[in-house]
Each structure stands twice: as C-alpha cells, then as structure tokens.
Structure 1
Amino acid sequence: MLLVAHLIAVSAYAGFQWTVRVLVYPQFDRVPAADFPGYERAHQRRVSRVVGPLFAAEVVTSGWLVVDRPDGTPLGLALAAAALVALVLLVTAVGAVPLHRRQDAGWDAAVHRRLLRVDSLRVGLATAAVGVAALLVG
C-alpha cells in the first residue's frame, strides 16, 4: 500500500510540474508588465495551496519508504526515491522560489528564462521520481 501511495504522490506532483512547465510558465510573458507584480504574487499564493500538499505527500511517503521499507523493497531504490524528492525540494527552495521573489518587483525576461531552466530540471527530477516509484511497485 505504501508503494502505491508513493507512486500516486510522485505522479500527482509530476503531473502538476509538467502542467506548470508546459502551460503556466510559458504564459507569464503575456501578462502586461504593469500588472505582472500582482499577477506573480497571486500565482505564488495560489500555487502554494496546490504544491504544499503534494510536497507533503511526497516527503511522508518517501521518508516512510526509507524508515520502514516494505518487505522485498530494495534499499537502493528506496533511497533513490527519497533523494529525488529531496532534490526537487532543494531545486525549488534555492532555484524557483528566489526567482519568483525577484519577479515580485516586476517582469524580468532574463529571470523568466532562468525560471524556465530551473523548472525543466524539476520536471526531469519529478519524472525520474515516477520511474523509480514505478520500479518500486514493480
């Protein structure tokens, strides 16, 4: 049950992250510059309501996998699952969040390009997490 719960958690986050990368962030440059600071702050507030529970589910299930591995679950895969979740959180904390905060002051195309690169990394990590979780479910 834990392995399936983890697969669901990382899959939900990966779906969210792909949506943000492919649909949400590419449209940021369509917001008029004068309106962008308010738009950005609203985005941060609203996205936190979605991503917070997703992150919590990933942290709980990946941590649980490491602390109380189900019988037959390879330690290496459990550690890989936890590491991928940790890396997503790290990239978010040191990459995406500061870039979003910089956009609070106003639209900056260079910051937006960096945000897209950081987000592409998060998409890759989230997708890899789904692959590892699928291997765990086996």
Structure 2
Amino acid sequence: MSTLAVVHLALVAAYAGFQWTVRVVVYPQMAGVVDGFAAYERAHQRRISRVVGPLFAGQGVTTVWLLVLAVRGSAPVVPVLAGAACLAVVLGATWLGAVPLHRVLDRGWDAAAHRRLLRVDTVRAVAATAGLGAAVWLVLA
C-alpha cells in the first residue's frame, strides 16, 4: 500500500502545482489577450487538456484503488475519504463550472465569464491543496 500511497501523493502534488500555476499565472494572463482571444482560448483548451487529462486519470485510478483498499480494511479510511472528497470537488468544479465557462470564452472575450472562471478555479486550487494534505496524511498514516 505504501507504493500506491506515494504514487497517489505524486499525482495529487503534481495536480495541485499545476492548478495553482493555472490560477496564478495562466488565467490572469487571459485578460491581456487583445486580438484573437477566441483562437487563443481554443488553443489553451487543447494544450491544457494534454496536461490535466493524465493527472485526472491517474488520480482517479489511485483514488478508486485506495477506496477499495479502505473498504477492505487495508488502507486508513479517513484520509482516503478526505482525498476522494477533494477530488470530487475538483472534478465537479471543473465539469460544472470551468468547462461551461471555457465554452463561453471560446466564442470570444467575456469579462464576466472570466471573473467567474477565476472564482471556480480558486475552488479547484483550494480543493487540490486540501487533497494534497489528505495524500500526505495517507502516506504518513
């Protein structure tokens, strides 16, 4: 189980670092794109999915595996459930918040949609950080 917990920690840490980079660097820069914003946004979506897709998939696999082990009594339940809850928040905020807002933005710049995207992304960054705490807890348990 310790190897699985360490792999899970690495994936969660990578995602948290990615998410904070998006929140602090990538999304704020969008406001500075004057010409061709729709094309910029579509390119952003294509490129970012190459990074976030494997991180989501990896976390999904390790989280499900850890949940199975927790149900069987082979992994500590509380940090596994805490991490799963954090991932659920991230995925929910992504699919219910960020994805629809990106669809608005790929039609062109929309300041209100951008502000909402920043708020949604703050939720994802905080949840990812909490998930990192849960992953550390799991490794130390």
TM over 0.5: yes
Structure 1 CA distance, aligned partners of 2:128 and 2:65? 18
Superposition TM-score, scaled by structure 2 size: 0.93
Identity, in percent, stands at 60
1:92-107 aligned within 5 A: 92-107=94-109
Deviations 1:32-54 (A, max 9, x none): 1x400000000001100100000
Q: Tell me the secondary structure at the aligned position of residue 137 of structure 1.
A: helix
Structure 1 residue 71, shift from structure 2 partner: 6.5
One of 109, 114, 133 as aligned partner of 2:135: 133
What's the counterpart of residue 63 of structure 1? 64
Contact 2:38 2:106 in 1 (8 A): yes
Superposition TM-score, scaled by structure 1 size: 0.95
What's the counterpart of residue 41 of structure 1? 42
What's the counterpart of residue 120 of structure 1? 122
Structure 2 CA distance, aligned partners of 1:86 and 1:49? 20
Cα 1:5–1:71 change in 2 (3 A) is farther
Q: Tell me the secondary structure at the aligned position of residue 68 of structure 1.
A: helix
Structure 2 CA distance, aligned partners of 1:77 and 1:136? 5
Deviations 1:73-106 (A, max 9, x none): 3212211111111111111000000000000111
| Structure 2: runs of 5+ lacking an equivalent | none
What's the counterpart of residue 53 of structure 1? 54
Structure 2 CA distance, aligned partners of 1:18 and 1:80? 20
Contact 2:69 2:75 in 1 (8 A): no
Letter aligned with residue 96 of structure 2 = V
What's the counterpart of residue 2 of structure 1? 4
RMSD over aligned Cα, in angstroms? 1.3
Structure 2 CA distance, aligned partners of 1:82 and 1:73? 13
| Structure 1: runs of 5+ lacking an equivalent | none
Structure 1 CA distance, aligned partners of 2:61 and 2:89? 15
One of 81, 85, 88 as aligned partner of 1:86: 88
